[in-house]
Amino acid sequence: MAEADRALEAEEAGQTVTGILKDEEGMKLVSDMLAARIVDIKPQYDFSTELGFIYPVVEQTIQVKGKAAVSLLETLSDKGILKRSFFDKILRCPRCQSINLRPSMRCPKCGSRNIARGRVLEHLACRYVGVEDEFRAGGRYVCPRCKMELRTMGADYQSRGVLRKCRDCGEVFNVPLTNWVCLKCSSISDDDKVAEVSIYSYSLDETKRNWLEFELQPKVRFLEFLSRHGYRVTENARVKGRSGAEHCIDMVATRDDGLVSHSIAIGIEIAREKIGLDRVLDFDVKAYDSGFHNKVLIVVPELGEEAKKFAQLQRIEILEPEELEKVLIHGVPPAAVKTDKEPFEFKSKSQLVQYLQEQGYKVNKNAKVEGRSGAEHNIDILATRDEGIITHRIAIDVEVGKSPVGLDKVFKFDDKAYDAGILDKVIIAVPGLTREARQFARHQGTKVFETGQMEPPDEEDPED
């Protein structure tokens, strides 16, 4: 669960992968890792390059080389997308930064580089110590100092093992002094003075897989889907709720088709395991407080049983990956819906019907709708539009008469729509509404179109 939470944290911090991976290269690289086309990004030594190593996979996949490749990989690991693991250390000349260094071994006593390495023998009689080669004399061992022959190991001579001996000062030692000769600038640096650079290999942080997969694939398509349906989308929208609290909603999609404007609150919950009730509850509270009737929750990988029941009860449309995919494949309108039309102006009922049809609505005149109470209602015009994720319904009441429409009619219409569960209500009144009817309609969130001149509009324009 802790891992899942971390993925969520990144979500809540308003991070989008597209924001992190400003460039296409990073996206391509991460996509390839998700698809397992790349497993690990390992460095390879290449002393002909400035860095001394390359990331062949990065060069091949996205043509990014050298320092740019390292900086991209480092950015991705800083953001928690990739995990670093230590690969090796590379030494650099402290003077010229070259990586072409050659180790140089010296006698720890006199600093000479004239060192011999081999089995070291000691002649017990004269205490002479030297490498084996010094004693060799035509198949025999002869002490170079006292010229006596060495006969029996352990009796007149002994071996001290493989060691080093300085040919200049005679010092016998195990560990030589190492320093580094730069092949570029010829400077010699002590072992503790050379710069060490750690190099890493990189792999995908598997705890982020679901989140990344969603961000890079369905999310991009989902945004495109909403835009084709004529929605304007705000990601990580800050919405002030009725309670006064400010909420952050993953996506708010708004569409104004001239007649009504409607918004959908879209939540995105991604974890490694089933999403629990708490997350759905949290989204529902936020959406309710912010006044959203249309609620869609995208969950990856899936919703728990209890959470599912709750979502159904609260009329939250749940999209698990499979359903989301279906929506994305089948719910796309053939042509993008235009919403920047002239504001709707009522001239006649047939003109209204045509307007709705142009907006992609299925229009039902004198529609019979069964309410929650079981009663059957008659609605002048019922406009329905299947938007793939939600079905948008508008109840339209057309009142044409000689005098302004009174409160009773507006009240009746509101009651009908409520019982039928239709949230978008429009009253078209010719010549208009009485002041109290208009006030009531506005209070109930009903959009009012008045076309008569019988009553002058009051200061607060009904079409705010």
Distances (CA, A) of 302 to 17, 47, 213, 236, 377: 21, 49, 14, 22, 38
Whichever of 141 and 449 has its CB closer to Zn ion, that residue is: 141
Extended strands (E) in 332-423: 362-370, 376-386, 391-400
Q: Can you tell me the distance from the alpha carbon of 294 to that of 264, in angstroms, rounded to the nearest whole number?
A: 5
Nearest Cα to 291, choosing from 256, 258, 268, 264? 264
Whichever of 94 and 452 has its CB closer to Zn ion, that residue is: 94
Residues 129-168 interacting with Zn ion (rule: CB under 5 A): 143, 145-146, 166, 168
Whichever of 166 and 324 has its CB closer to Zn ion, that residue is: 166
Q: How far is the CB of 51 from Zn ion (least distance, A)?
A: 15
Q: Can you tell me the distance from the alpha carbon of 429 to that of 437, in angstroms, rounded to the nearest whole number?
A: 11
Q: How far is the CB of 43 from Zn ion (least distance, A)?
A: 22
Residue 93 within binding range of Zn ion, rule CB under 5 A:
yes
Whichever of 8 and 172 has its CB closer to Zn ion, that residue is: 172
Location of structure tokens 């670093």: 84
User: Which position among 128, 135, 225, 292 is part of the footprint of Zn ion (CB under 5 A)?
Assistant: 128
Q: How far is the CB of 159 from Zn ion (least distance, A)?
A: 15
Segment contacting Zn ion by CB under 5 A, of 102-110, 339-347, 380-388, 426-434:
102-110
What type of residue sits at position 379?
Answer: I
- Contact between 86 and 200 under an 8 Å Cβ cutoff? The reply is yes
Whichever of 121 and 271 has its CB closer to Zn ion, that residue is: 121
Query: Please, is 347 exposed, middle or buried when counting C-beta atoms within 10 Å of its C-beta (0-12, 13-18, 19+)?
Result: exposed
- Contact between 429 and 453 under an 8 Å Cβ cutoff? The reply is no
Query: Please, is 29 exposed, middle or buried when counting C-beta atoms within 10 Å of its C-beta (0-12, 13-18, 19+)?
Result: buried
Residue 109 within binding range of Zn ion, rule CB under 5 A:
yes
User: Which position among 21, 72, 131, 182 is part of the footprint of Zn ion (CB under 5 A)?
Assistant: 182
Residue 183 within binding range of Zn ion, rule CB under 5 A:
no
Residue 169 within binding range of Zn ion, rule CB under 5 A:
yes
Residue 396 within binding range of Zn ion, rule CB under 5 A:
no
Q: How far is the CB of 184 from Zn ion (least distance, A)?
A: 5
Whichever of 189 and 210 has its CB closer to Zn ion, that residue is: 189
Residue 32 within binding range of Zn ion, rule CB under 5 A:
no
Whichever of 95 and 293 has its CB closer to Zn ion, that residue is: 95
- Sequence-distant (6+) residues with CB within 8 A of 24 are none
Residue 100 within binding range of Zn ion, rule CB under 5 A:
no
Residue 107 within binding range of Zn ion, rule CB under 5 A:
yes
State the DSSP string of 186-219: --EEEGGGSEEEEEEEEEE-GGGHHHHHHHHTHH
Segment contacting Zn ion by CB under 5 A, of 116-124, 286-294, 333-341, 347-355:
116-124
Q: Can you tell me the distance from the alpha carbon of 394 to that of 423, in angstroms, rounded to the nearest whole number?
A: 7
Q: Which two tokens stand for residue 94?
A: 């402290």
Residue 245 within binding range of Zn ion, rule CB under 5 A:
no
* Interface positions with Zn ion (CB under 5 A): 93, 95-96, 98, 107, 109-110, 112, 123, 126, 128, 143, 145-146, 166, 168-169, 171, 182, 184-185
